[in-house]
Each structure stands twice: as structure tokens, then as C-alpha cells.
Amino acid sequence: MTAAALPAITEGEVEFTAMRAQGAGGQNVNKVSSAVHLRFDIGASALPLDVKARLLALRDSRITQEGVVVIKAQQYRSQDLNRADALARLNALVQSVARAPRVRRPTQPTYGSQQRRLQTKTQRSHTKALRGKVRGE
């Protein structure tokens, strides 16, 4: 599945909550609710089942036990910019699991690589044998 074939995450599937931002910022931080909490329920979304499964399998601290993605955006002073930032971060998370990982097909070592390995082992064995006690004849 290509990333372009994914259905776009709509505003209806996402719940935004405005709150006051943390950290330094003076009066603006204390008065204005510019930070945004984004909540996205993976199970109730319109994403394909395989994408949902890969999202739920991610070991990401933003995904709760109930399968809800929670993203806090407070980088900007504007609530609209923070909403757009949170939505962009959610889309990036979904895009990261959109494509199924390639299946690894094990291969056999080549004859040459086997011979080189055995030659190296022989040389190493000879080097270690020389470390033993010197025996008189």
C-alpha cells in the first residue's frame, strides 16, 4: 500500500482540546489557551486494518493502552498553528507505518564466502596454537 492511497485523517476523527501552554512565556502563557491536545482513536478510525494493527503495535509513548494517540502541541503562540502542527505530527506517525515492512528472505552463503571463513578460522587456530608451551625435542 502506498502512502498516497491512505485515506486522509479528517477533523471528525480527531478531537482537539485547548489548554494553557507550559514553560516560560510571561503573561501570554498565563492568559491564553494556545496549547492543543490532539486525541485520535485508532480503533474507531477509517484507516485500513493492517495500518491500524501496525500503529497499535508501535512502542510509542504517545499511544495509550486503549489505542488512542495523544499528541500535545505547544510550540507556537497561536492555537491554529499548534492545531496544524499536531495534525502534521499525527499524519507523520501514520505515514511511518503506512507501508508494510519488506519480508526478509534468507539466502545461502556463497561458496567463496564459506572458503574465506574457513581460511580465516584456520589462520586464527594456527596463531593460537603458537601461544602454547614450547616443547623441547
**pLDDT tens digits, residue range 43-63?**
888 888 888 898 888 888 888
Within a domain: 115: no
**Which triple of cell numbers denotes residue 41?**
482513536
Within a domain: 126: no
pLDDT of residue 137: 67
- 49: containing domain: 3-96
Within a domain: 112: no
Average pLDDT over residues 98-126: 94
Within a domain: 116: no
Within a domain: 21: yes
pLDDT of residue 7: 64
Radius of gyration, alpha carbons of the chain: 28
Within a domain: 121: no
Within a domain: 45: yes
Q: Do residues 111 and 87 touch, judged by C-beta distance below 8 A?
A: no
pTM over 0.85: no
Within a domain: 22: yes
Strands 68-73 vs 35-41: parallel, antiparallel or unpaired = antiparallel
Amino acid identity for residue 7 in this structure? P
Residue 53 CA to chain centroid, in angstroms?
A: 14
Amino acid identity for residue 105 in this structure? R
Q: What is the 3-state secondary structure (H, E, C) of 67-114?
A: CEEEEEECCCCCHHHHHHHHHHHHHHHHHHCCCCCCCCCCCCCCHHHH
The total of structural domains in the chain comes to 1
